[in-house]
A = this chain, B = another copy of it.
Amino acid sequence: MAESAGPAGNETLLFLTDDQIRKGIEAMFFAYRGFTADPDRILAVQGYGRAHHRAIHFINRSPGTTVNNLLAILGVTKQSLNRVLRTLIDDGLVLSEVGTRDRRERNLYLTEAGAALERELSTAQRDRMRAAFRQAGPDAVAGFRRVLEAMMDGDMRRHYMRFREF
């Protein structure tokens, strides 16, 4: 090809140079800090951490979800999750009900207090995300989603896609 040029040897692939990729890597690093900054501040007041936020988020997303399902989504050990879940249950933010179909399972729900904290956290996080979306524009948002979806591990993509329709 006569128009071949540059380090990548192909102009159509210039967005795949190592430097472009490195910028993407650093963008992920710095942006993730912003992404978690607002919830982190709110959680710190209550003495909670990101692990609590994640549990609250996914229980809110799928009320009645089981411990096992949460373990698969969060990718942590049951001991680790249990510690977090225990404090949330003891503090009255999460309700754990014995399963009806299978009584070994525990169905997890947010209490009113839990839902209130969830709203506080997600409002803060959504405000920043909304501002970023608005600033970048709809086409950028679509691209953002496409790249992130391509970056996920297969297992995680399944958990993500399961609620795509909403």
Contacts and interface: CB of A to CB of B under 8 A. Distances in A.
Given A15-B138, A129-B151, A30 B159 contact: yes
Interface string A123-166: 00110111111111111111111111111110011011001101
A37 B75 CA distance: 11
Contact of A135 (B19, B21, B31, B150): B150
Contacts of A22: 61, 122, 126, 166
Q: Which of A137, A145, A148, A149 gathers most chain B CB within 10 Å? A: A148
A23 B145 contact: yes
Nearest to A60: B22
A150 B136 contact: yes
Nearest to A125: B25
Q: Which of A21, A135, A142 gathers most chain B CB within 10 Å? A: A21
A98 interface: no
Interface residues of A, number: 62
Residues of A contacting B: mostly: helix
Interface in A38-84: 54, 61, 75
Contacts of A141: 15, 20, 24, 143, 147
A130 B141 CA distance: 19
A27 interface: yes
Contact of A126 (B18, B125, B148): B18
A113 interface: no
5 contacts: A22-B122, A22-B126, A24-B145, A136-B147, A143-B143
Query: 4 shortest A-B CB distances, which residue pairs?
Result: A143-B143, A140-B143, A132-B150, A31-B148
